[in-house]
């Protein structure tokens, strides 16, 4: 599995101001609707439901909100770089500025876990995160995310 298969370049954004985790989930839902044709309300509800089980802020300024939904045709991703870090109730209590959202079909099973592992490995790479934080062009962010995985997998 490669990030190019789950992340559409149109789903990579830089967001200047985010006021709350709820607003962040709304943004992810709106992008999922615009880019992938999902129902925004269903996507938002799915993210909130998953978050209620435990925080998806994994530390080091990174959040990996995700949800399994009935209507998702395949695994899809959304990446946001927040210009102003957001208090996210992360495991290390640090604010979040890199967000990789994932949506998977309800019955995706192991494929969802593989995608989550791939995203997690990518976002744990300090070099990748440094490059992501140094850029504000969505095309460059997409290239950083997808090229790094292609070379690491080779």
d(CA 63, CA 45): 17
Closest CA to 35 of 142, 128, 114, 149: 142
Residues 153, 31 contacting (CB under 8 angstroms)? no
Catalytic residue among 66, 81, 112, 149: 66
To the query of whether residue 60 is one of the catalytic residues in this protein, the response is no
Q: How far is CA 110 from CA 1, 14, 105, in A?
A: 12, 30, 11
Helix (H) or strand (E) holding 142: helix 138-153
The residues that are catalytic are: 66
């Amino acid at each position: 599995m490669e990030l190019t298969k789950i992340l559409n370049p149109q789903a990579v954004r830089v967001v200047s101001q985010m006021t709350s985790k709820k607003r962040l989930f709304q943004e992810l839902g709106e992008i999922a609707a615009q880019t992938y044709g999902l129902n925004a309300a269903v996507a938002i509800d799915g993210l909130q439901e998953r978050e209620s089980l435990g925080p998806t802020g994994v530390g080091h300024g990174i959040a990996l909100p995700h949800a399994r939904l009935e209507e998702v045709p395949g695994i899809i991703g959304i990446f946001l770089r927040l210009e102003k870090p957001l208090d996210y109730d992360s495991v290390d209590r640090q604010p979040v500025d890199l967000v990789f959202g994932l949506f998977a079909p309800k019955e995706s099973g192991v494929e969802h876990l593989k995608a989550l592992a791939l995203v997690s490995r990518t976002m744990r790479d300090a070099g990748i995160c440094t490059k992501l934080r140094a850029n504000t062009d969505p095309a460059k962010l997409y290239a950083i995310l997808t090229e790094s995985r292609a070379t690491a997998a080779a």
